[in-house]
Amino acid sequence: MILRYLARRLFLLGFVFVALTVFVFSLNYLFPGDLVSNLTGLRDISPERHHHLQQILALDQSLWQQYIAYNRRILSGDWGLSFASQQPVLHEIARVLPATLELAAYALCLSLIAGIPLGLLAAIKKDSILDRCISGLALIGYSMPIFWLALIFIMLFSLQLGWLPTSGRLGVLFEVPSQTGFMFVDILLAGEINRSEAAYNALLHLAMPTFILAVYPTNVMIRFVRASMLEVLDQNYVKTARAKGLSRTQVLYRHGLRNALLPVTRQVGLQFSTLITLAMLTEVIFSWPGIGHWLIDSIYQRNYPAIQAGLMVVSSLVICVNMLTEILHTLFNPLARKL
């Protein structure tokens, strides 16, 4: 049963990836400029080299063959060079992606830690002043454009109060070589620096971007958890449990919470794509050296190989996370498998 379900999901995943690669592959033809340049990222190619590359890229064969060759290169890690730096695009992505993952993961955790309890609280105390306050705040946070909020925060916390730095991941005087790309791990691995001072500095740099990025998903989470909990509390089995004489807390923990939080796993997956989009905005505002910042720079520079690769990586990431949460949701919730 579950195997069949997994097989079905994996088949769907494969299909989505085929569609994605077809789209990215076709971009090479849609972007202006020389096809060989767009595919390899090389510039000013000599005629002999050009001819040679055409053969390697299978450009003298049918479109289908070209697509196969393209996929083969993608799988073997040959993603071409960046126009701007003439470095392999995949290396550049490996350098910037961890920064984005780090930021997004912290923000997601923050939104779960803050969003779930607040949502539950609002549901339990339905229609009280507390509920009104939480729901009202959630609505305001939900409708606040984050670039605006981010600028206000910078004005307040950096320029007025001078508490937090405005940009980057770490003070530039700390020399932390990028080994894993994850700041705290790199700080642990770095030699010859004051680790605790560096970690503290990294935290200060992290605070504002994380908070700003967490605002939207937190509010979505509050609203979602509240609605889900209210729905569960309205179910017959909850009423029955109450009628059997279980206390309010017992009902809440044994029957309410587990059932109300089930849809949350799925929601995390759905929120992930929004989170990545917002992360791009946040990165630009706070000069966070992540993939969003890098991708937007690449768009400004008309750096086609980088745009393609960035698109591919970000989309794959979103698709995989979505699929993963979907599967987790199904594993926890036998009811979903039948659907």
- Per-residue DSSP letters for 110-150? HHHHHHHHHHHHHHHTTTSHHHHHHHHHHHHHHHS-HHHHH
Q: Does 11 bind another protein (CB under 8 A)?
A: no
299 lines the binding site for another protein (CB under 8 A): no
Number of residues that bind another protein (CB under 8 A): 35
SS3 1: coil
Residues 80-109 that bind another protein (CB under 8 A): 85, 105-106, 108-109
Q: Which two tokens stand for residue 285?
A: 């505002």
Pick from 13, 121, 124, 204 the residue near another protein by CB under 8 A. 204
State how far the Cα of 216 lies from the Cα of 276, in Å rounded to an integer: 12
CB of 71 to another protein, least distance (A): 27
The least CB distance from residue 168 to another protein, in Å, is: 8
191 near another protein, rule: CB under 8 A: no
Does 206 contact another protein by CB under 8 A?
A: yes
Tell which residue, 2, 16, 15, 4, has the closest CA to residue 317. Answer: 16
The pattern of x and - marking residues 37 through 76 that bind another protein according to CB under 8 A reads ----------------------------------------
**Beta carbon nearer to another protein, 166 or 316:** 166
Of the candidates 59, 90, 124, 203, which one interacts with another protein according to CB under 8 A? 203
Beta carbon nearer to another protein, 34 or 197: 197
Told to check if 110 binds another protein by CB under 8 A, we report yes
Tokens standing for residue 271: 């929120």
Contact yes or no for 9/323 (Cβ under 8 A): yes
Give the list of residues 6+ apart from residue 151 with CB closer than 8 angstroms, or none: 285
200 scored as a contact of another protein (CB under 8 A): yes
200 membership: H or E segment, kind and range: helix 195-233
Q: Which residue, 175 or 231, has its beta carbon nearer to another protein?
A: 175
Q: Does 253 bind another protein (CB under 8 A)?
A: no
Q: Which is nearer to another protein, 218 or 259 (CB)?
A: 218
CB 217 within 8 A of CB 244: no
CA quadruple 273, 274, 276, 281: dihedral positive or negative? positive
Helix axes 304-332, 258-285, angle to 10 degrees: 170
The answer to whether 254 and 149 have CB atoms below 8 angstroms apart is no
Distance separating alpha carbons of residues 274 and 68, to the nearest angstrom: 32
- Supply the minimum distance, in Å, between the C-beta of residue 20 and another protein: 23
Q: DSSP states of 281-323 as a string? A: HHHHHTT--SHHHHHHHHHHTT-HHHHHHHHHHHHHHHHHHHH
* Closest to another protein by CB, 7 or 152: 152
Q: Which residues contact 67 (CB under 8 A, 6 or more apart)?
A: 21, 22, 25
Shortest distance in whole angstroms from residue 292 CB to another protein: 15
Using the minimum distance from each CB to another protein, give the nearer residue, 207 or 246.
207
Residues 158-187 touching another protein, rule: CB under 8 A, are 158-159, 162-168, 171-175, 184
Question: Binding segment for another protein among 26-34, 194-202, 221-229, 242-250 (CB under 8 A)?
Answer: 194-202
Residues that bind another protein (CB under 8 A): 85, 105-106, 108-110, 112-113, 154, 158-159, 162-168, 171-175, 184, 197, 200-201, 203-204, 206-207, 210-211, 287, 289
